[in-house]
Amino acid sequence: MAAKLGYQWNLRLLMAEAGMFATTDLVPLLAERGIVLSSTQVYRLVTQTPERLSLPALMALCDILDCTPNDLIEPVAKTRTKRAAASGTGRRGAASSLKGRRPRRAEITDQ
């Protein structure tokens, strides 16, 4: 099994430790630091794991929560399972045996 690098986003946990339980609590604090986000954007930032995050936003969150980027983003090793090789008996196996064939046009007959 090959290891795949992942990460754990701990913003919600750090907010709770700081006594902030509403996502809207972050909106004015971020705005004070020049990061203007809508309440919906902040909600997604708190409740979901972000794929992209600007460095100014990351630094603002660290300043607000008095933490480091390592506290917010925790590396996690995930294991990836290898796919089983096609045996030729499943749908993929049937599809590969029909490779190069074309479907025949349906014929309509009157009865």
Kindly report, residue by residue over 9-33, the tens digit of the pLDDT: 999 999 999 999 999 999 999 999 9
**77, β-bridge pairs:** 5
CATH class entry, domain 2-80: mainly alpha
Q: Looking at residues 43-61, what average pLDDT do you find? A: 95
pTM value is: 0.66
Q: Looking at residues 100-106, what average pLDDT do you find? A: 76
Supply the pLDDT for residue 89: 54
Which helix (DSSP H) or strand (DSSP E) does residue 80 occupy? strand 73-80
Supply the pLDDT for residue 81: 62
